[in-house]
Amino acid sequence: MINKDKIINKKRWHAVPAKEAMHILGSSPDGLSRDEARERMNIFGPNMLDQAVRRGPLTRFLLQFHNVLIYVLLAAAVITALLQEWVDSMVIFGVTIVNALIGFIQEGKAEKSLDSIKNMLAPKAVVLRDKERQNIPAQDLIPGDVVLLKAGDKVPADLRLFESKDLQIDESALTGESVPVSKNIYEVDDETSLGDRAGMAFSGTLVTYGQARGVVVATGQLTQIGRISSLLSQVDTLTTPLLRQVAKFGHFLTIAILALAGLTFFFGIVIRDYGAGEMFLAAVGLAVAAIPEGLPAIMTITLAIGVQRMARRNAIIRRLPAVETLGSVTIICSDKTGTLTKNEMTVQNIQTADRLYGVTGAGYSPQGEFTLDENSIDPQDHPILMDVLTSALLCNDALVRQEQELWKLDGAPTEGALVTAAMKAGLNHDRTSKERPRLDIVPFSSEKKFMATLNQWDDGQNLIILKGAPERVMEKCSQQRHQDKDQDLDRDFWHQQGERIASRGQRLLALAVKEVQADQKELGDKDLEQDFVFLGIFGIIDPPRQEAIEAAARLIGECVSVDECHSAGIRVKMITGDHVLTALSIAEKLGIGDGKTALTGQELEKKTDEELRQVVPDVDVFARTSPEHKLRLVKALQAENHIVAMTGDGVNDAPALKRADVGVAMGKNGTEAAKEASDMVLADDNFASIANAVEEGRTVYDNLKKAILFILPTNGGQALVVIASIILGIGLMDGTGHFSLPITPPQILWINMVTAVSLALALAFEPSEANVMKRPPRSPDENLVSGFLLWRVGFVSVLLVIGALGHYKLMLLDGASQNLAGTAAINTLVMGQVFYLFNSRFIFEPSWTIRGIMGSRPVLISIAVLAVLQLSFTYLPPMQYLFQTEGLDPAAWVRILIFGILVFILVEMEKAVFRKRR
């Protein structure tokens, strides 16, 4: 009987010899019997990921209303219904329901992240049962099963390999390793990182080359993919800075409105001796005036406009609040492959016996040149260089071809890099292959670590070309190719040059040749043992994107050029599954970190959470990281009060993407699990798009702040009209002794809705201000209701109240009716808001320039729309009947216009005072 607990609790299968793993699992190379498989299925269960317990759709929908500002909005809807203003009540209810539906849909999409991981599991598996091959559903696999793998298969469970022939597996989705990794059957150290466990094949990864057999050591939730699924289900999505601030603001606003309404009610009864009924209606009017009904809609629309702008810049937003959160990001944790780099291997150096050549260009496009001592050269003038490139092109199975404007690779990335380098020297793959036809081949294998071809050559000779790991190629060589003649091999020289190139983060690939007789048509093992001439070493790397270098410089605060030196105050950290030397080399070129300091996954595991919190702010490069490492790093940064954006493309990135304040997934090469866990998807997989998104995020926040600074004085002015009317006794008593306010609750609702819809909405379209990327990120703790905001709201509210009530009293003194005086007061309020809209385009900068007044088409259109609405409100008989208004004469309009200009001038003077103080 097998020991279930021993198998389940065994975590380090990679450190166990294959025979010992078989013994622990009670299995053999011939697999299990059918009867044993059935018994084990009862013990271990199916090879499936757990289904997370989720809230029902009704619960999720109702929870969308669990927000203080929404409560205030619902209260406003109830109040307007009590006032029998059914249209306004339905409009307000409609706003809350639309917001709830948006949140409900977005949350439903986010919960698909677990499902997308489940879809990564292989649907079928080839196993040995009763010593016979069987094709079974992957969910029927159990520990102890022997699984057969071949190129193109998806690994169905975590396997300990015991047979392997040239096996290569693409583990990029799991480890972040940018190229397929070679596998073998040997155990490694207990603490070896996930990407270096060569004797293991992990569930959900893809076999790209070769064959193998392995015994199942973990299924379902116990696999590496299962562990990530568990992490993902346990990760809580953080609320955004804006939502936290809105919640605070909602509490503050609710308390302030209720307090003011209550005080006004009691003041009217006790001091003014007004009736309780009139004062209740006045308190209701005050509440209606003070509640910014249009604010949630304006916030949603502003965020939606930000989404559209970002989409045009290749950043697709999945959750609306993420737009604003980008503006407050203090740290960007970026995966290397595909985001900071092109995910296209490129030859950067070629070392021969007497020269170190540089190769420019990036990716598979054959655009670039060769350099020597940083000077451009013609490779045709360097025979040995051409021999190296020609040999690399012939000993190669990759094909680089052009599709429209893009260059595509068919084959292994490393071989594609060699083909591209040869094309840069003017070599043509088809022509060269015809001139030097291949006669035989020994394919690359992970055991041999080399590939060899036999090619027909000139002068009655054929040529064996050997390509592979430098140490394997070198051991078969006795000479090296020099300019004049072949010389004895200088092993120390090649070791030194290899270390020099590798220290730049480049992968090494060596090339050697051997002449044989023209009648030899096949390759044998003895032909590959000795007497080769060493030609050179290629240095190959996945180079950083040029636009990523510029974007990182913008964010970090370094100069891209003399004319462009931005300081956005954002720190960029690289977190990758690649080796530390590669990571440091790329980071140095990007200007990330000091080019020397990096923290590996092994080092990270030894640190406690507290120790990690202390060290993580000072380290910018993290290599050989696992999903748990990435999640710990994000949590550690957030614990230090940072707003973190995390980029990634693999399943291994999904937990950290979900935990980050803004998760950013790759759109072209990203897995579905990463996309579903993210808040934003980069359509072009380019780091530069993140910098663009940060700029748009800051603009969105600026525009939200401008909208709030515009809307609140509107509500404040209306509320103060009610308060001042009662305190100062400004109003009319009718024949029955009832007190009438200068502006009635329905008229207040009209002002709220038309100004919010037509005027405040225009601010959502404001472009980025000139200094948006020159200032540091705002503090995550910055209050939405700042001291400055309170001052501006109070200052403008007082101006509006003076104008509205002043005009109201003046009209009454001239013998106007209550309705006519009220109409003048309403239009005075609206005109003040129109001119204040120009002030609001810039919070501190002056607006009395041509750009400030005429520079926004949406502002001018919104004013034109408002003019039509307000003239209809004033002069159309149906509107006059509904809102008790009367037509104004030209003299009244002149006074209203003069008041609007005065508001504009006074606010501009106030802004000038604040600019001097700043």
Q: What is the pLDDT of residues 168-180, one digit of tens each?
A: 888 876 776 667 8
pLDDT > 80? residue 376: yes
Output the pLDDT for position 241. 61
Angle of the 295-312 helix axis to the 687-728 helix axis, nearest 10 = 160
Tell me the pLDDT band of 449, cut-offs 50, 70 and 90: confident
CA 865 to chain CA centroid, nearest Å: 38
Please give the model's pTM, rounded to 2 decimal places: 0.63
> Six-digit token pair at 32?
């299990």
User: pLDDT tier at 72 (50, 70, 90 boundaries)?
Assistant: low
**3-state secondary structure (DSSP) of residue 750:** helix
Tokens of 494: 């090649």
Determine the average pLDDT of the residues in 791-801. Answer: 91
Cα angle vertex 751, ends 747, 757, to 5°?
A: 140
Residues 6+ apart with CB under 8 A from 828: 803, 804, 807, 808, 895, 896, 899
Task: Quickly state the pLDDT bin for 237 (edges 50, 70, 90).
Answer: low
Q: What pLDDT shows up at residue 560?
A: 37
- Does the structure show a pLDDT above 50 at 187? yes
Residue 330 corresponds to which amino acid? T
605 membership: H or E segment, kind and range: helix 601-605
**Confidence band of 563 (pLDDT split at 50, 70, 90):** very low
> Is the pLDDT at 392 greater than 90, yes or no?
yes
Indicate whether 741 pLDDT > 50.
yes
Please give the DSSP secondary-structure letter assigned to residue 888.
P
**Residue 525 pLDDT > 90, yes or no?**
no
Lowest mean pLDDT among 102-116, 360-374, 482-496: 102-116
Element at 214 (helix H, strand E): strand 206-218
Residue 425: φ, ψ to 5°: -90, 5
DSSP string, 848-881: -SHHHHHS-HHHHHHHHHHHHHHHHHHH-HHHHH
Q: Indicate if the pLDDT at residue 196 is higher than 80.
A: yes
Tell me the longest C-alpha to C-alpha distance in the chain: 124
**For residue 117, what pLDDT is reported?**
43
Q: Is the confidence at residue 733, as pLDDT, over 80?
A: no
Q: Alpha-carbon distance 662 to 693, whole Å?
A: 11
Q: Report the 10 Å Cβ neighbour count for 373.
A: 9
Between CA 725 and CA 744 the distance in angstroms is 12
Mean pLDDT lowest among 210-224, 227-241, 335-349, 863-877: 227-241
Whether 888 and 827 have beta carbons less than 8 Å apart is answered as yes
User: Catalytic pick from 140, 145, 153, 335?
Assistant: 335
pLDDT at 109 over 50: no
pLDDT: which is higher, 449 or 324 = 449
Mean pLDDT of 714-741: 70
Distance, in Å, from the CA atom of 718 to the CA atom of 721, rounded to the nearest integer, reads 5
Does the pLDDT at position 102 exceed 60? no
What are phi and psi for residue 833, nearest 5 degrees? -70, -35
* Length of the chain measured in residues: 918
pLDDT at 561 over 50: no
Asked whether residue 715 carries a pLDDT value surpassing 90, the answer given is no
Whose CA is closest to 336, among 557, 114, 598? 598
The mean-pLDDT minimum among 89-93, 470-474, 559-563, 688-692 falls in 559-563
**Average pLDDT of the chain to the nearest whole number:** 82
What is the pLDDT, as a whole number, of residue 873? 92
Q: Is-catalytic flag, 335?
A: yes
Cβ atoms of 309 and 702 within 8 Å: the answer is no
CA-to-CA distance for 46 and 40, rounded, in angstroms? Answer: 10
* Sequence-ordered list of residues with C-beta below 8 angstroms from that of 367, at least 6 positions apart, any chain: 361, 424
Residue scoring higher pLDDT (440 or 404) = 440
What is the C-alpha to C-alpha distance for residues 356 and 348, in angstroms, rounded to an integer? 10
The pLDDT tens digits for 596-649 are 788 988 888 889 989 999 999 889 899 888 778 888 999 999 998 888 989 887
- Res. 565 pLDDT band, cuts 50 70 90: very low
Cα–Cα distance measured from residue 436 to residue 389, given in angstroms and rounded to the nearest whole number: 13
Inform me whether the pLDDT recorded for 736 exceeds 60: no
Q: What is the reported pLDDT for 114? A: 38
Q: What percent of the chain has pLDDT over 90?
A: 30
Q: How far apart are CA 872 and CA 878, in angstroms?
A: 9
Residue 490's CB is within 10 A of a number of other CB atoms, namely 15
3 state SS of 452 = strand
Scanning 459-572, the segments in alpha helix (DSSP H) are: 470-474, 491-502, 546-556
Q: Give the integer Cα–Cα distance in Å for 623 and 575.
A: 6
